[in-house]
Amino acid sequence: MCSLALFPPPLPYGQTTVCESNNELLSGSSTEDQLKQDFSPPSLSFPRESLKLHSRTENSSKAAFLDHSETLWMRSAAAWRDGGLTGLLNEITNSHPEVPKWLSMSSGCILALLQWVSSFHGSLFPHLTLSSEDMIAEFSQVLNWSDCVVRAFAWHPHTDKFAVALLDDSIKIYNPKSATTPTLKHRLQRNVAVVQWKPLCASALAVGCQNCLLVWHVDPCSLSTRPSAGCAHVLSHPGHAPVTSIAWSPSGSLLVSASPMDTAMMVWDVAAESCVPLQRVGGGGVTFLSWSPDGSHVLASTPSALFRVWETRMWTCERWPCIKGRCQSGCWSPDGSRLLFTVQDEAVIYSLTFTNTPAAVPSGTSKGPHAAVVVADLSETTFSTPDGDIIVGGEIQSLAWDPRGERLAVLLKGDPRAADRSPIIAVFKTRVSPIFELLPCGFVQGEPGAEPRLMQFHPNFRHGALLTVCWSSGRITHVPFYFLSASIPRLGLSGSPTLPHVQERPADFANQSLFTEFIS
């Protein structure tokens, strides 16, 4: 087993990663050093000061008004509407001069009983005691979500436009071919955890937020900068909030959503606004979803040390118990045959392989592997640089694999308490076929003081791979990796098929490989 020690050392202070070219990462002193290219997506910056944040934190405007006395019935009705059963019981218990003693006593007892039961439930699944905002922050793929200016980011799967969800609960859509940048705002769009564009569609954008799921229809030809709330469909199901992860099927027909509060994973037929809950015992919720690019499997991780891999033909699942912690992140190879995932509190990347059974066989369960294989060890490594020793490695926040399966980006959490261990992105070169290989590529670093928070690969960058990184400073930059594809360009969903390059050559990998299937 090899480690991060094989990586080239991080850049000295003040240098930023610009691109990869000729098999090495180039750096520059400022972001303006970008190479000239035919496609350059806008690199944006959202300073925290420019956002108009909510001045009030709570939803209700009760505090601004004078208290006036209502009848018990009115107050009870309001409490029922706002707080449900517990609210009603609370109201009855607290207004004891007006209600008979036995009623306030009994409601107090019921309330205590309910709280005891919920605390018992909470001790089984500690995450249930979190507030919804903390819960999103805990299970989000974004590092330090609650403090992040850019809370979610999504490239359109077919075009060069992208959506950015900001701290002020608005979503902006940038299109390099269009001058208008529509801003999406909705009453229910609060604490956006995740956004994703619908495949095989130009306009639909799904947004997972605190209370519900929204599907926006943003007409690409429209010149309006503020699409009305009528363009959004609200999808909600009782008990299914906050939504921390969503995934569209690659064929664009279904949407799955997950909430850590709900043990069921929802499969939505968005146009019909109907959903099928898929419930299994164990786990205590669903936190992260990832649909394999070939559409055959869905990874669903839970807050417990357990994750499931669903097969999408008959919707049966395999249970995968982990030893240490919950599955934090995962990503699929382009052909859907390999799943890489990471586990909380562990600094390694695991791999699972799936072979698709011939679909003519009616049995839906695919014969999966029996155990996961460790493919990379990212435990802490010290690099000595001119600026002093830098420690890199540790826990992993998220994984991203480029659509051709040649670059794997790993966002390392670092340690917020230690100054020399800031979050960093490590990039691997990968090869999926004929054998799986993992080789070091380098670290992607931003401006001094900026920490990576969120990353995503462009779905169809023609010259290699394009990694988009959102930084803690509110800046969004794009790091291109120029290479010639070693594999035959895949047909199907990711853009129109291009002819194989004549001068194509397999990338000559560094002679020390981090992982190949021959070694393990």
Residues that bind other proteins in the complex, under the rule CB under 8 A: 156, 158-159, 200-203, 220-221, 233, 251-254, 267, 269-274, 276-279, 313-316, 358-360, 362, 364, 491-493, 495-497
**Residue 10 or 334 having the CB closest to other proteins:** 334
Nearest-approach distance from CB 131 to other proteins, in angstroms: 27
Instruction: Kindly state the DSSP code that residue 490 receives in the 8-state scheme.
Output: P
Convert 255-308 into a string of H (helix), E (strand) and C (coil): EEEECCCCCEEEEEECCCCEEEEEECCCCCCCCEEEECCCCCEEEEECCCCEEE
**Residue 75 or 280 having the CB closest to other proteins:** 280
The tokens for 228 are 């009305």
Which DSSP helix (H) or strand (E) runs through 94? Answer: helix 72-94
Which DSSP helix (H) or strand (E) runs through 118? Answer: helix 101-124
**Residue 96 or 237 having the CB closest to other proteins:** 237
Nearest-approach distance from CB 153 to other proteins, in angstroms: 19
Nearby residues of 158 by Cβ (< 8 Å), 6 or more positions away: 199, 200, 202, 459, 460, 495
**Residue 234 or 507 having the CB closest to other proteins:** 234
Nearest-approach distance from CB 274 to other proteins, in angstroms: 7
- Coil, strand, or helix at residue 466? strand
Nearest-approach distance from CB 299 to other proteins, in angstroms: 18
List, edge to edge, every strand of the sheet that includes 348-353.
327-332, 338-343, 348-353, 373-377
Nearest-approach distance from CB 218 to other proteins, in angstroms: 12
Query: Rounded to an integer, what distance in angstroms lies between the CA atom of residue 410 and that of residue 392?
Result: 12
Nearest-approach distance from CB 277 to other proteins, in angstroms: 6
**Residue 129 or 180 having the CB closest to other proteins:** 180
**Residue 110 or 201 having the CB closest to other proteins:** 201
Nearest 10 degrees: Cα torsion 242, 245, 250, 255: -10
**Residue 160 or 377 having the CB closest to other proteins:** 160
Nearest-approach distance from CB 73 to other proteins, in angstroms: 21
Buried b (16+ CB within 10 A) or exposed e, 247-256: bbbbebebbb
Nearby residues of 512 by Cβ (< 8 Å), 6 or more positions away: 2, 6
